[in-house]
Chains A and B, each alone.
Chain A
Amino acid sequence: MVHSDLRKLIAGWRIQVRVIHALMIREINTRYGRQNIGFLWIMVEPILFAGLVAAIWRLWKGPEEHGISIIAFVVTGYIPITLFRHCVARSAAIFTANSSLMYHQQVKIIDFIFVRFIIELLGSMMAYIFIAGVLISLDLFPIPKDMGLFIAGWINYAIFSLAICFIIAPLSEVSEVIEKLIPVTTYIMIPFSGLFTMLSWMTPSSREYLLWSPFVNAMEMMRKGIWGDDVTAYYYAWNPIAFSLITTLIGLALCRHVRRTLSVE
């Protein structure tokens, strides 16, 4: 019994890997086509966004703030938030957009979320590596002091973004109001995302509130990993993990509910 269940699980896993692979190729083909640089477009937008904002900040505020390079600081903030905002924007109405694929039983609605998340994740990681490589060679970006901590922070940030998508995707199918509110919400949350400031620059009381935000915790981890002893960071590594877990559970339950009522043309 246990044995056959395990075999079923493995077979199911294989099918999902196959489906996600096929969906990714299809998504990249439809979104970027086969002309010019093709799928490399996925890294262009994060690069432009982080690069241009960093340049503006550099001109506006000078080379350094609180003893660290402004350009590097902006880049470390903008690449993760671009990942988050793109993921969320792409999850809205994701089931309706892909409904013709639900004709195939092995395609599950969760696959759509995974696929778009993986594409955004790859794009932002490629952008990060590219931009950091260029800046390091120009001596504008520090060589990460603690790569492990940085990666742990990045994973925390990404997992929480994915968890949010699990909620946004089904909710946007249920209510159009929610779909309309997404852009403004992701904009308003910017101050609570740890994008512009480190917690050590703030008053202790506001620091305490911001430490509830999974984004801030993950962002502090990443920046501590990059600058090491040059900065003071405050974070709880478990915070994004706990929030992701709760959010994912709620999100998966919502997805399940929405799938039952989804009408496919």
Chain B
Amino acid sequence: MPPCAKDAICRMIVCRNISKTYTHGGRKKVVLKDVSFTIGRGERVALLGCNGAGKTTLIKIIGGVEMPTSGKIERHMSVSWPLGFSGGFQGSLTGLDNAKFIARIYGQDYDEVRSFVEDFTELGGHLKLPVRTYSSGMRARLAFALSLAIEFDCYLIDEIILVGDQNFQRKCHKELFENRKDRSIVLALHNNDFIKEYCSSGIVLHNTGLHLYRDINKAIEYYDDISLKVSV
């Protein structure tokens, strides 16, 4: 590997010829077939696709939670775990124990992480209860707070931002879109207005294929087009 200087590729996520097939009980389901794309530093990518088109699968592959059946993915920046309703936590442990665990594996100071999490989530005494007793909104808050406390170059977000009350949404927007303008974001979401406002490019998943548009409006146009065909 050459030393990373200003070379653009060194600050990107590069996915080459990714395929993913799930096999269960002898039945195969192809989710992604030979897709390639890059995500640049500071780029905000919306993931568009109908239910079951593979948005969550793609996010999991980018985040290294699942491996592609074939193809290669290179991450030249730190990538968060997929922030969603599930995953990343141990349900039988308390919110604070989970925070402690995550601080440990990412090599962060627990006291700093803890005070940020307490402040950001406003969960108060709930943090001392097992995570399995949390509502999905509370889990989302915890996941979000932890990923912000650890600081990643790229955030993977799966339908999570619109969860929670107005106050929490405002906080998220401030932390993510104002204080961390320079970070990359991959966002799987159905809300077009939101996408138009915050994302710069779009990836549309359709029939195991992938279309990347560097212009978000074109991506939405194409997505509306195909979803219209599906509904007709």
Contact partners of A19 in chain B: CB under 8 A: 105
Q: Identify the closest chain A residue to B143 (Cβ).
A: A103
Q: State whether the Cβ of A259 lies closer than 8 Å to any Cβ in chain B.
A: yes
**Which range holds the interface residue count of chain B?**
20 to 34
B66 and A264 contact, CB distance less than 8 A = yes
Enumerate A241-265 residues with CB–CB distance to B below 8 Å: 259-265
Partner of B87, one of A15, A22, A26, A264: A264
B22 and A100 contact, CB distance less than 8 A = no
Contact partners of B81 in chain A: CB under 8 A: 103-105
**Chain A interface, DSSP helix/strand/loop, else mixed:** helix
**Given A264-B60, A265-B87: A104 touches B92 (CB 8 Å cut-off):** no
Q: State whether the Cβ of A106 lies closer than 8 Å to any Cβ in chain B.
A: yes
Q: Identify the closest chain A residue to B86 (Cβ).
A: A265
Minimum CB–CB distance for B142 against chain A, Å: 13
Minimum CB–CB distance for B117 against chain A, Å: 16
B105 and A22 contact, CB distance less than 8 A = yes
Q: How far is B69's CA from A259's CA once the two chains are assembled, in angstroms?
A: 10
Q: State whether the Cβ of A21 lies closer than 8 Å to any Cβ in chain B.
A: yes
Partner of A260, one of B67, B88, B90, B97: B67
A105 and B86 contact, CB distance less than 8 A = no
Enumerate A11-41 residues with CB–CB distance to B below 8 Å: 15, 18-19, 21-22, 25-26, 29-30
Partner of B65, one of A4, A25, A30, A264: A264
Q: Identify the closest chain A residue to B20 (Cβ).
A: A263
B64 and A105 contact, CB distance less than 8 A = yes
Binding site for A on B (CB under 8 A): 1, 22-23, 60, 63-67, 69, 79, 81-82, 86-93, 97, 101-102, 104-107
Binding site for B on A (CB under 8 A): 4, 15, 18-19, 21-22, 25-26, 29-30, 100-107, 259-265
Q: Can you name 23 A-B pairs with beta carbons within 8 Å?
A: A15-B107, A22-B101, A25-B101, A26-B90, A26-B93, A26-B97, A29-B97, A30-B90, A100-B87, A100-B88, A100-B90, A103-B63, A103-B87, A103-B88, A104-B105, A105-B64, A105-B81, A106-B106, A260-B67, A260-B69, A261-B23, A261-B67, A264-B66
